[in-house]
Chain A
Amino acid sequence: MTHPWSIAAVTLAYGLMLVGSVSAGGGGSPAALQSFPLYNAGERVDGLPLAAVLRREDTAHFVSFVYGDCVAGDDAGCAPPAEIQIWPSCRRNLGLYDRVQSVGAPAERISVRGVPALLFDDGTRLELETGQSTAVVFAGTRARVLRIAGALRTIDGTVLSLRPLPQPTRGQEGGPSNC
């Protein structure tokens, strides 16, 4: 379930962040308890403050960090300036786009901080795999997306901004082959 959290709740979320990982999936099986490292860009990135932390464990599974604000109206939501979604790589990974059914515009394959990544939607969406996590970055421009990708860091401090990211472990021994 996803909740938009107020500042107080964001503080609580940071408490969660200190743990360094979250449970992925609401099922009771051991696979459902697979944890995945959380990344964000700190309390501010590219001039945008952290505005909300969201979590989904329903038809989608991720923790989201929303940066900046926007003004929604009647019958018309709005797109926040930037968002980082962290999925367990067993749920979302670059391999989804290798399958024929995974349609969309052609993606641009790049490397970000030493790990494979794909750019979609004219560079306004980046997906990269690192360790057992997949980071999905949304922003208004390619340049901002890449700056945010450069700022990604684990919330437990084991991976710092601008440093090389851990290689993907999906499909490897110890990796999250299923959820």
Chain B
Amino acid sequence: MLRFALVVALASAVALGGTPALAHFDAADRYTHKACPASAANRIDPVNVVFMTWGTWGRAESQIESHAGWTASSGSAQAFTDHGSCASMHTQRASGHGSRFHIRLRGQHADATLGWTALAAAHHEDLVLLPLACGHAVDANGPAGSGFDQGRDELLRRFTDAGHSSSRVWWGNTQSFKQCDGDYAGSDGWTVFIQLHQASHP
């Protein structure tokens, strides 16, 4: 675990130093966007999970299904950026179709230290039907954190229980986002790095 944390720390330091020849992981934009081109005005969710080592989006999708049991694929599309380029997400998974855990992912550049990486935005959301039906809204901040924090922590718990190494990193992306029920939700600023293994699950 210590070695894993050191790898994350070193990669982070390299990223801060801006030496792309050695590290291609890009954490410059720590939010998802409603569409491209990305801007501060069309941010939707905070990025709060990074899959690494064998963190291709396909492996991440497979292992989310296996370890968390989130197999539903419904939901709207969002966009991520990587080295200044904006593109739609690769996939999404959820724990159901009503009130649920939900995560969107996009594979990123491979990194010399972190390996294959994928950015993800996880959250818990309620299906709001009353007083006005508005659809899915991320849980407002509460004792267990916001819906963003709850989604991240639930995913982390499932992967940790399955033996995956992880590390928490301060990203500071705590901007609040208004939800369709009128509540606000935001990340507590911590992002988890989760190590994936090579083998996909059946």
Contacts and interface: CB of A to CB of B under 8 A. Distances in A.
B176 A54 contact: yes
A92 B172 CA distance: 9
B141 A54 contact: yes
A118 to B, nearest CB: 9
A136 B174 contact: yes
B189 A74 contact: no
B141 to A, nearest CB: 3
A1 B141 contact: yes
B145 interface: yes
Interface in A2-25: 2-4
Interface in A81-100: 81, 83, 85, 92, 96-97, 99-100
Interface stretch (A40-48, A58-66, A151-159, A162-170): A58-66
Contacts of A103: 11-13, 15-16, 27, 169-171
A77 B174 contact: no
Interface stretch (A28-36, A108-116, A137-145): A137-145
B40 A80 contact: no
Interface stretch (B41-49, B54-62, B65-73, B154-162): B41-49
B135 A80 contact: no
B202 interface: no
Interface residues of A, number: 49
Contacts of B39: 140
B175 A83 contact: yes
Contact of A106 (B16, B167, B182, B183): B16
Given A2-B142, A73-B180, A79-B40, A100 B12 contact: yes
Interface in B151-200: 167, 169-172, 174-180, 182-186, 188-190
Contact of B176 (A66, A102, A105): A66
Nearest to A80: B178
A121 B176 contact: no
A77 B12 contact: no
19 contacts: A54-B184, A58-B142, A58-B149, A60-B174, A64-B184, A66-B176, A69-B178, A72-B180, A73-B135, A74-B76, A77-B180, A78-B178, A79-B40, A79-B43, A80-B176, A92-B172, A104-B16, A105-B15, A121-B28
Interface of B: 5, 8-13, 15-18, 27-30, 34, 39-45, 75-76, 78, 125, 134-138, 140-146, 149, 167, 169-172, 174-180, 182-186, 188-190
Given A76-B44, A141-B40, 12 more contacts: A1-B141, A4-B184, A58-B144, A60-B141, A66-B184, A69-B178, A75-B76, A77-B179, A83-B176, A101-B8, A104-B171, A105-B29
